[in-house]
Each structure stands twice: as structure tokens, then as C-alpha cells.
Amino acid sequence: MDGATVTRTLLAESGPGVKIVAQTAAAVTRYRDGARAAGCVDFLVKPIHSEQVYECLRVHLGAEFEDVLPVTEAEFQAPWEAGQLPLPEELYARLATAAELHSTTALKACLLELRQLGPEPGKLAEQIRQLMCSYDMDGIMRLILRASAPAHSVADPSPAHGCDSP
């Protein structure tokens, strides 16, 4: 079923009082008009920011929210400030791509892999998770760029051929 059919079906089966908000990645007027014609009370376009959801809940359900200051990058205590955290190139690329494409699903998969790499990557994973809570993909991208680098670009501190240098 498409979104309009699902909306009509839900509204017919649930009765009055149900409010449906459509969401899509396509900000085309005909989709907005189609959603409203199907019975949606509002329409959100991806990427969806938490403030939009809160406003939608306030307007359509009368919900009230307490403003809380967001956690900023300055509040993070990054243990790798003196250098970068080497990551497998493929994981680094997937993290950057997921943040750029605003894909929380892909980011969550990467977080699991980060945690499996040890305590320092696990701390990075936790910071990314915190930024995901506020859907701060730009902050995630800045954090990834600041805190990590593909493993192949980090200089190998070990001596060549396993021998000590004179």
C-alpha cells in the first residue's frame, strides 16, 4: 500500500481523534497535497529535525516540552584530542557516508562495529549516539572528521622491517 491508502485505512478503522503526519524525502507539492487529501494533519520532509517533530506534537496533540540546551561538541571529552583515532578505511567511509546521507540506520550499524574495536572507538561511538539523539548529522560529520582517520593514512610508528633504527 502507498501512504495515502494506509492513511485512509487507518482513519477508517480507528475513528475520530487519530492524527497522522506524513513524512517523505520528496518535498514535492503533489505529495503534500495528496497526504492532506488522504487525511494527514501535517507533512514533514526528510531530513526531519527534532524541533519539527516537537512542533508537530505541540500543534496537533497539545503536547508541551521543556527546552533543554543541546550537548555541544565542546562538552565532549574526546580522549583522542592529541591525535586521530585510526579506523578501518571501509568503516570510516561508511560512517562519513551515513552522516552525509542522514542515515541513522547505517550509523547504528557502524556504532556496533566501533564498540567492537575497543574502548577508544567505543567512546567515539557513544558520542555519535548522543548526537544522533538530536539528529545532529552535521555535528556527527564534524566529530568523525576531527576524531578519526582511515587506518591507511595514519603513519605507522613501528620501525621498518621490524628492526630497530640506529
Convert the pLDDT of each residue in 28-86 to its tens digit: 788 888 889 999 999 888 888 888 888 899 899 998 877 665 555 444 444 444 347 77
- Is the Cβ–Cβ distance between 91 and 82 less than 8 Å? no
- Is the Cβ–Cβ distance between 29 and 20 less than 8 Å? no
Position 157 scores a pLDDT of 38
Instruction: Report CA torsion sign: 97, 123, 140, 156.
Output: negative
User: DSSP states of 25-55 as a string?
Assistant: S---HHHHHHHHHHT-SEEEESSPPHHHHHH
Average pLDDT over residues 109-123: 88
3-state SS assignment for residue 24: strand
